[in-house]
Amino acid sequence: MDLNHLNVFINLAESLNYSKTAENLHISQPAVSRIIQRLEDEIGVTLFYRSRREVQLTKNGKLFYEDSKSLVNSYNKALQRTRNSFNRLQSNLTIGITDTPLEQAVLPGMIRAFQAARPDCKIFLEGFDHNLLKHHLLNHDSDVIFTTHDDVADLADVRFWQLFTGHFMALLPADHPLKDKSELNLNDLAGQKILLMDNNWCPPEQFKLQETIRKSVKDLDISYVNDVEIVNLMVKAGLGVTVMPSFVAIEKPSEIKAVKLNYPAPLEYGLVCRKDESDPLVLSFCRLMQKQAEKIA
Protein backbone atom coordinates (compact mmCIF):
# COMPACT_ATOMS: atom_id res chain seq x y z
CA MET A 1 0.00 0.00 0.00
CA ASP A 2 1.32 3.44 -0.97
CA LEU A 3 1.93 5.73 2.03
CA ASN A 4 1.03 8.76 -0.11
CA HIS A 5 -2.34 7.16 -0.79
CA LEU A 6 -2.88 6.78 2.96
CA ASN A 7 -2.10 10.47 3.43
CA VAL A 8 -4.73 11.35 0.82
CA PHE A 9 -7.27 9.12 2.55
CA ILE A 10 -6.53 10.62 5.99
CA ASN A 11 -6.82 14.16 4.65
CA LEU A 12 -10.16 13.41 2.99
CA ALA A 13 -11.43 11.65 6.13
CA GLU A 14 -10.74 14.84 8.05
CA SER A 15 -11.88 17.40 5.46
CA LEU A 16 -14.80 15.38 3.98
CA ASN A 17 -14.35 17.51 0.89
CA TYR A 18 -12.61 16.32 -2.31
CA SER A 19 -11.81 19.86 -3.47
CA LYS A 20 -10.37 20.81 -0.09
CA THR A 21 -8.18 17.71 0.03
CA ALA A 22 -6.95 18.38 -3.50
CA GLU A 23 -6.08 21.93 -2.45
CA ASN A 24 -4.41 20.80 0.79
CA LEU A 25 -2.20 18.25 -0.98
CA HIS A 26 -1.60 20.23 -4.19
CA ILE A 27 -3.07 17.57 -6.47
CA SER A 28 -6.13 17.52 -8.72
CA GLN A 29 -9.58 16.51 -7.54
CA PRO A 30 -9.76 13.63 -10.07
CA ALA A 31 -6.45 12.37 -8.64
CA VAL A 32 -8.01 12.30 -5.16
CA SER A 33 -10.97 10.31 -6.52
CA ARG A 34 -8.68 7.81 -8.29
CA ILE A 35 -6.57 7.27 -5.18
CA ILE A 36 -9.61 6.64 -2.97
CA GLN A 37 -11.04 4.25 -5.55
CA ARG A 38 -7.74 2.33 -5.66
CA LEU A 39 -7.67 2.09 -1.88
CA GLU A 40 -11.24 0.79 -1.79
CA ASP A 41 -10.42 -1.75 -4.50
CA GLU A 42 -7.31 -2.87 -2.65
CA ILE A 43 -8.99 -3.16 0.76
CA GLY A 44 -12.25 -4.52 -0.59
CA VAL A 45 -14.59 -2.22 1.36
CA THR A 46 -16.30 1.12 0.77
CA LEU A 47 -14.59 3.88 2.76
CA PHE A 48 -16.87 6.84 1.97
CA TYR A 49 -20.53 7.52 1.29
CA ARG A 50 -20.69 10.04 -1.54
CA SER A 51 -23.54 12.22 -2.74
CA ARG A 52 -23.77 15.51 -4.56
CA ARG A 53 -24.13 17.34 -1.27
CA GLU A 54 -21.78 15.58 1.14
CA VAL A 55 -19.04 13.04 1.79
CA GLN A 56 -19.16 10.85 4.90
CA LEU A 57 -16.98 8.04 6.25
CA THR A 58 -18.56 4.59 6.34
CA LYS A 59 -18.23 2.46 9.48
CA ASN A 60 -15.34 0.61 7.83
CA GLY A 61 -13.88 3.95 6.76
CA LYS A 62 -13.85 5.18 10.37
CA LEU A 63 -12.03 2.04 11.53
CA PHE A 64 -9.51 2.34 8.71
CA TYR A 65 -8.99 6.04 9.49
CA GLU A 66 -8.18 5.37 13.15
CA ASP A 67 -5.66 2.64 12.32
CA SER A 68 -4.10 4.31 9.29
CA LYS A 69 -3.62 7.64 11.09
CA SER A 70 -1.83 5.81 13.91
CA LEU A 71 0.28 3.99 11.33
CA VAL A 72 1.29 7.18 9.51
CA ASN A 73 2.04 8.93 12.82
CA SER A 74 4.26 6.02 13.87
CA TYR A 75 6.00 6.07 10.49
CA ASN A 76 6.68 9.79 10.73
CA LYS A 77 8.08 9.42 14.24
CA ALA A 78 10.25 6.49 13.16
CA LEU A 79 11.49 8.51 10.22
CA GLN A 80 12.35 11.43 12.49
CA ARG A 81 14.16 9.17 14.96
CA THR A 82 16.18 7.64 12.13
CA ARG A 83 17.12 11.03 10.73
CA ASN A 84 18.26 12.07 14.18
CA SER A 85 20.15 8.87 14.93
CA PHE A 86 23.52 10.55 14.45
CA ASN A 87 22.59 13.45 16.73
CA ARG A 88 22.48 12.07 20.27
CA LEU A 89 21.32 15.42 21.65
CA GLN A 90 18.01 15.10 19.83
CA SER A 91 15.11 13.52 21.75
CA ASN A 92 11.47 12.93 20.83
CA LEU A 93 8.31 13.41 22.88
CA THR A 94 4.83 12.44 21.68
CA ILE A 95 1.92 14.15 23.43
CA GLY A 96 -1.69 13.00 23.07
CA ILE A 97 -4.58 15.48 23.33
CA THR A 98 -8.32 15.56 22.66
CA ASP A 99 -8.15 19.20 21.50
CA THR A 100 -10.48 20.70 24.11
CA PRO A 101 -10.90 24.48 24.49
CA LEU A 102 -8.72 24.29 27.61
CA GLU A 103 -5.93 22.61 25.66
CA GLN A 104 -6.23 25.19 22.91
CA ALA A 105 -6.03 27.97 25.51
CA VAL A 106 -3.20 26.84 27.80
CA LEU A 107 -1.12 24.09 26.20
CA PRO A 108 0.68 26.24 23.59
CA GLY A 109 2.22 28.39 26.33
CA MET A 110 2.97 25.43 28.59
CA ILE A 111 4.62 23.45 25.82
CA ARG A 112 6.53 26.55 24.69
CA ALA A 113 7.99 26.82 28.20
CA PHE A 114 9.16 23.21 28.02
CA GLN A 115 10.61 23.76 24.55
CA ALA A 116 12.58 26.73 25.90
CA ALA A 117 14.00 24.52 28.65
CA ARG A 118 14.66 21.62 26.28
CA PRO A 119 15.33 23.04 22.78
CA ASP A 120 16.91 19.70 21.84
CA CYS A 121 13.54 17.94 22.12
CA LYS A 122 11.43 17.25 19.04
CA ILE A 123 7.75 17.40 20.06
CA PHE A 124 4.89 15.61 18.29
CA LEU A 125 1.21 16.26 19.02
CA GLU A 126 -1.50 13.75 18.14
CA GLY A 127 -5.24 14.22 18.57
CA PHE A 128 -7.73 11.41 19.14
CA ASP A 129 -10.71 10.69 21.38
CA HIS A 130 -9.81 9.79 24.96
CA ASN A 131 -10.25 6.03 24.47
CA LEU A 132 -7.79 5.93 21.59
CA LEU A 133 -5.33 8.09 23.52
CA LYS A 134 -5.29 5.60 26.39
CA HIS A 135 -4.66 2.81 23.89
CA HIS A 136 -1.78 4.80 22.36
CA LEU A 137 -0.24 5.45 25.77
CA LEU A 138 -0.32 1.82 26.87
CA ASN A 139 1.08 0.72 23.51
CA HIS A 140 3.95 3.25 23.69
CA ASP A 141 2.66 5.27 20.73
CA SER A 142 2.28 8.30 23.03
CA ASP A 143 4.63 9.25 25.86
CA VAL A 144 2.06 11.30 27.77
CA ILE A 145 -1.61 12.14 27.27
CA PHE A 146 -3.82 14.89 28.68
CA THR A 147 -7.13 13.72 30.16
CA THR A 148 -9.26 13.62 33.31
CA HIS A 149 -8.39 11.53 36.37
CA ASP A 150 -11.63 9.56 36.27
CA ASP A 151 -10.81 8.55 32.70
CA VAL A 152 -7.76 6.54 33.83
CA ALA A 153 -8.86 5.55 37.35
CA ASP A 154 -9.37 1.95 36.22
CA LEU A 155 -5.87 1.63 34.74
CA ALA A 156 -3.30 0.18 37.13
CA ASP A 157 -0.29 0.78 34.88
CA VAL A 158 -0.43 4.58 34.62
CA ARG A 159 0.56 7.58 36.74
CA PHE A 160 -1.65 10.68 36.91
CA TRP A 161 -0.17 14.17 37.31
CA GLN A 162 -2.85 16.64 38.45
CA LEU A 163 -2.87 20.05 36.75
CA PHE A 164 -6.33 21.53 37.38
CA THR A 165 -9.41 20.79 39.50
CA GLY A 166 -12.97 21.77 38.72
CA HIS A 167 -16.68 21.00 38.68
CA PHE A 168 -19.44 20.69 36.12
CA MET A 169 -20.85 23.70 34.30
CA ALA A 170 -23.75 24.27 31.92
CA LEU A 171 -22.74 26.02 28.70
CA LEU A 172 -25.48 28.30 27.40
CA PRO A 173 -25.84 30.60 24.39
CA ALA A 174 -25.02 34.18 25.37
CA ASP A 175 -28.71 35.23 25.11
CA HIS A 176 -30.19 32.20 26.92
CA PRO A 177 -32.87 32.93 29.58
CA LEU A 178 -30.85 31.02 32.24
CA LYS A 179 -27.58 32.83 31.57
CA ASP A 180 -27.78 35.20 34.58
CA LYS A 181 -28.29 32.49 37.21
CA SER A 182 -25.38 31.93 39.59
CA GLU A 183 -26.06 28.19 39.76
CA LEU A 184 -28.35 25.74 38.00
CA ASN A 185 -30.06 22.63 39.30
CA LEU A 186 -30.46 19.74 36.87
CA ASN A 187 -34.23 20.31 36.76
CA ASP A 188 -33.58 23.81 35.41
CA LEU A 189 -32.65 22.04 32.17
CA ALA A 190 -36.18 20.65 31.73
CA GLY A 191 -37.63 21.38 28.31
CA GLN A 192 -34.27 22.37 26.84
CA LYS A 193 -32.54 21.31 23.67
CA ILE A 194 -29.51 19.61 25.16
CA LEU A 195 -26.29 18.54 23.45
CA LEU A 196 -24.54 15.52 24.97
CA MET A 197 -21.17 14.00 24.09
CA ASP A 198 -21.10 10.46 22.71
CA ASN A 199 -19.29 7.73 24.66
CA ASN A 200 -15.94 7.97 22.87
CA TRP A 201 -15.62 11.66 23.80
CA CYS A 202 -17.14 11.34 27.25
CA PRO A 203 -15.07 10.42 30.36
CA PRO A 204 -16.86 8.39 33.10
CA GLU A 205 -17.97 11.24 35.38
CA GLN A 206 -19.43 13.19 32.48
CA PHE A 207 -21.17 10.05 31.21
CA LYS A 208 -22.73 9.56 34.67
CA LEU A 209 -23.95 13.16 34.66
CA GLN A 210 -25.37 12.84 31.17
CA GLU A 211 -27.20 9.63 32.09
CA THR A 212 -28.60 11.30 35.21
CA ILE A 213 -29.86 14.19 33.09
CA ARG A 214 -31.27 11.87 30.44
CA LYS A 215 -33.16 9.72 32.97
CA SER A 216 -34.33 12.33 35.48
CA VAL A 217 -34.89 15.62 33.62
CA LYS A 218 -38.21 15.95 31.80
CA ASP A 219 -39.05 17.02 28.25
CA LEU A 220 -35.54 17.07 26.85
CA ASP A 221 -34.71 17.30 23.17
CA ILE A 222 -31.37 15.42 23.12
CA SER A 223 -28.72 15.43 20.39
CA TYR A 224 -25.38 13.61 20.61
CA VAL A 225 -22.14 15.18 19.39
CA ASN A 226 -18.70 13.56 18.95
CA ASP A 227 -16.41 16.59 19.05
CA VAL A 228 -15.85 19.21 21.78
CA GLU A 229 -15.23 22.03 19.32
CA ILE A 230 -18.40 21.16 17.40
CA VAL A 231 -20.54 21.13 20.53
CA ASN A 232 -19.16 24.57 21.49
CA LEU A 233 -19.96 25.85 18.01
CA MET A 234 -23.52 24.50 18.30
CA VAL A 235 -23.99 26.26 21.64
CA LYS A 236 -22.72 29.54 20.16
CA ALA A 237 -25.20 29.09 17.29
CA GLY A 238 -28.09 28.72 19.75
CA LEU A 239 -28.74 25.08 18.84
CA GLY A 240 -28.83 23.91 22.44
CA VAL A 241 -27.09 23.81 25.82
CA THR A 242 -24.47 21.36 27.02
CA VAL A 243 -22.63 20.28 30.19
CA MET A 244 -18.86 20.26 30.56
CA PRO A 245 -16.18 20.23 33.28
CA SER A 246 -15.21 23.77 34.26
CA PHE A 247 -11.67 23.26 32.96
CA VAL A 248 -13.10 22.50 29.52
CA ALA A 249 -15.91 25.07 29.61
CA ILE A 250 -14.12 28.18 28.39
CA GLU A 251 -16.56 31.09 28.70
CA LYS A 252 -16.79 33.79 26.02
CA PRO A 253 -19.35 36.31 27.32
CA SER A 254 -20.39 37.51 23.87
CA GLU A 255 -20.96 33.92 22.65
CA ILE A 256 -21.14 31.40 25.52
CA LYS A 257 -22.10 31.75 29.19
CA ALA A 258 -20.88 29.12 31.68
CA VAL A 259 -23.06 28.58 34.78
CA LYS A 260 -22.14 26.25 37.63
CA LEU A 261 -24.22 23.09 37.98
CA ASN A 262 -25.42 21.98 41.40
CA TYR A 263 -24.03 18.50 40.89
CA PRO A 264 -21.41 17.18 43.38
CA ALA A 265 -18.64 15.61 41.35
CA PRO A 266 -15.10 16.88 42.09
CA LEU A 267 -13.07 16.69 38.89
CA GLU A 268 -9.35 16.56 38.13
CA TYR A 269 -7.59 17.22 34.84
CA GLY A 270 -3.96 16.45 34.16
CA LEU A 271 -1.52 14.40 32.20
CA VAL A 272 -0.80 10.70 32.31
CA CYS A 273 2.30 8.66 31.68
CA ARG A 274 2.98 4.96 32.10
CA LYS A 275 3.62 3.90 35.70
CA ASP A 276 6.96 2.33 34.81
CA GLU A 277 8.08 5.40 32.84
CA SER A 278 11.79 6.03 33.49
CA ASP A 279 12.71 8.39 30.65
CA PRO A 280 14.02 11.61 32.27
CA LEU A 281 12.61 13.62 29.36
CA VAL A 282 9.05 12.43 29.98
CA LEU A 283 9.29 12.90 33.73
CA SER A 284 10.78 16.39 33.40
CA PHE A 285 7.94 17.31 31.02
CA CYS A 286 5.35 16.18 33.58
CA ARG A 287 7.01 18.10 36.41
CA LEU A 288 7.30 21.28 34.34
CA MET A 289 3.64 21.02 33.26
CA GLN A 290 2.64 20.93 36.93
CA LYS A 291 4.68 24.06 37.64
CA GLN A 292 3.17 25.84 34.64
CA ALA A 293 -0.35 24.83 35.75
CA GLU A 294 0.30 26.28 39.23
CA LYS A 295 1.13 29.65 37.63
CA ILE A 296 -2.10 29.58 35.58
CA ALA A 297 -4.27 28.51 38.52
Taking alpha carbons only, the member of 123, 129, 72 closest to residue 97 is: 129
Write the single-letter amino acid at 38.
Answer: R
Count of alpha carbons within 13 angstroms of residue 240, beta-carbon side: 20
pLDDT > 90: what percent of the chain?
48
pLDDT of residue 14 exceeding 50: yes
Task: Say whether 234 sits in a helix, a strand or coil.
Answer: helix
pLDDT one-digit tens code per residue, 216-231: 999 999 999 887 888 8
pLDDT digits (tens, 9 = 90+) for 51-74: 877 889 999 999 899 888 888 877
List Cβ neighbours of 58 (8 Å cut-off, separation of 6 or more): 45, 46, 47, 48, 49
How far is CA 170 from each of CA 55, 111, 146, rounded to the nearest angstrom?
Answer: 33, 29, 22
Domains annotated for the chain, with CATH where assigned, are: 3-69 (1.10.10.10), 90-164+268-296 (3.40.190.10), 168-265 (3.40.190.10)
φ, ψ of residue 124 in degrees (nearest 5): -115, 135
Residues 6 or more apart whose CB falls under 8 angstroms from that of 122 comprise: 80, 84, 90, 91, 92, 93
Which of residues 82 and 34 earns the better pLDDT score?
34
pLDDT at 208: 93
pTM of this structure:
0.66
Q: How far is CA 273 from the centre of its chain?
A: 17
pLDDT value at 1 more than 70: no
CA angle 71, 77, 80 (to 5 degrees): 140
pLDDT above 50 (res 46): yes
Residue 243 pLDDT greater than 80, yes or no: yes
